[in-house]
A = this chain, B = another copy of it.
Amino acid sequence: MSLLNPQLAAFAAVLDEGSFDAAAQRLSLTPSAVSQRIKALEDRLGQVLILRRSPCEATPAGKRLLRSVQQLRLLEAETLQAFHVDADDAGAALASLAVNADSLATWFLAALADLHEQHQLLFDVRVEDQDHSTDLLRDGSVLGAITAIAQPVQGCVVKKLGVMRYLPIASPAFVKRHFPRGVDAASLAKAPMLVFNRKDELQWRFIHSVTRARLAPPMHYLPSSTAFVEGAALGLGWAMAPESMLEKPFAEGTLQSIAPKRWLDVPLYWQHWAIRSETLSWVTAALLQAARQGLR
């Protein structure tokens, strides 16, 4: 059974699954029945809610509706569970969370495994830069986000998780070749640098902490946390990497700090919708505990 009306259930299923066909399969309906329900909902609200493309996407109006529907679904799943009734909609209990790639590669998974073990929660994990995951919160795509932004998104509450420390690293051969006399404006201008993607400013922040000179070093873009660390070990460039990913490569001698007295501390926060939900309070408790162990 579902507490959502059939139109809202169809709307949410299309956006979850990305197509009318897949939504129909999940709801055990024909695609044409799904389409009629969406159309009726759009007529009722007087707004186009879904862009019919591959995959289907919410319009701005659809995103506003989705945010409410996600909250309804979470409360619905909890309500039904309290009565020992399964929601018949397989996607209903998915907790959607945004996380930055480096947290996913380090402390975050332990919290998910705990929550799944203890409460059988299922997760829809979205990887976004810590600076940009609040967009997903704002448009209702996620229930909560690991973010670098302390300012709460409207309707959300924020808890501090701790600090992720980033060390400037490279392979020993790279250090010998590019930084034989240490790190300064001249060496940083020439040494190839790894950058996660266009939103990644950590390497630039490190450079600015060393020199006020405007540098244009050679760069690689490499958007994967583990590839970033492995790429540095293979000599592609220097990079800023989370200290918790470095224990083993430091011990094995495949990576070293290029400036042992320098690092960057990035505070991380857990922002989530301000609704009273058992699921959310479980998730919050598990994240705070995993962060205590994995962050400073």
**Which segment, of A33-41, A102-110, A276-284, faces chain B?**
A102-110
Q: Give the dominant DSSP class at A's interface.
A: mixed
Q: Which chain B residue lies CB-closest to A90?
A: B216
Q: Is the CB of B230 within 8 A of A109?
A: yes
Contact indicator per residue, chain A 185-199, by CB within 8 Å of chain B (1) or not (0): 000000010000010
Contact indicator per residue, chain A 217-249, by CB within 8 Å of chain B (1) or not (0): 011111111110011001110000000000000
**Chain copies in the assembly?**
2
Interchain nearest-CB distance for A293 vs B (Å): 14
Interchain nearest-CB distance for A283 vs B (Å): 14
**Which segment, of A43-51, A122-130, A153-161, A251-259, faces chain B?**
A122-130
**Which segment, of A1-9, A72-80, A112-120, A262-270, faces chain B?**
A112-120
Across-interface contacts of A26 in B (CB, < 8 A)? 216
Q: Is the CB of A227 within 8 A of B117?
A: no
Q: Is the CB of B221 within 8 A of A124?
A: yes
Q: How far is the CA of A105 from the CA of B228 in the complex (A)?
A: 10
Q: Is the CB of A109 within 8 A of B221?
A: no
Q: Which chain B residue lies CB-closest to A217?
A: B90
Q: Known interface pairs A55-B198, A112-B231, A216-B90. Does A125 touch B222 (Cβ–Cβ under 8 Å)? A: yes
Q: How far is the CA of A122 from the CA of B222 in the complex (A)?
A: 11
Q: Is the CB of B113 within 8 A of A236?
A: yes
Interfacial residues, chain A to chain B (CB-CB below 8 A): 17-18, 25-26, 55, 90, 94, 101, 104-105, 109-110, 112-113, 116-117, 120, 122-127, 192, 198, 214, 216, 218-227, 230-231, 234-236
Q: Can you name 24 A-B residue pairings with CB atoms under 8 Å? A: A17-B198, A25-B214, A26-B216, A90-B218, A90-B219, A101-B224, A104-B227, A105-B224, A109-B227, A110-B234, A112-B220, A113-B231, A113-B235, A113-B236, A116-B236, A122-B192, A122-B218, A122-B219, A123-B236, A125-B221, A125-B223, A126-B221, A126-B223, A225-B226
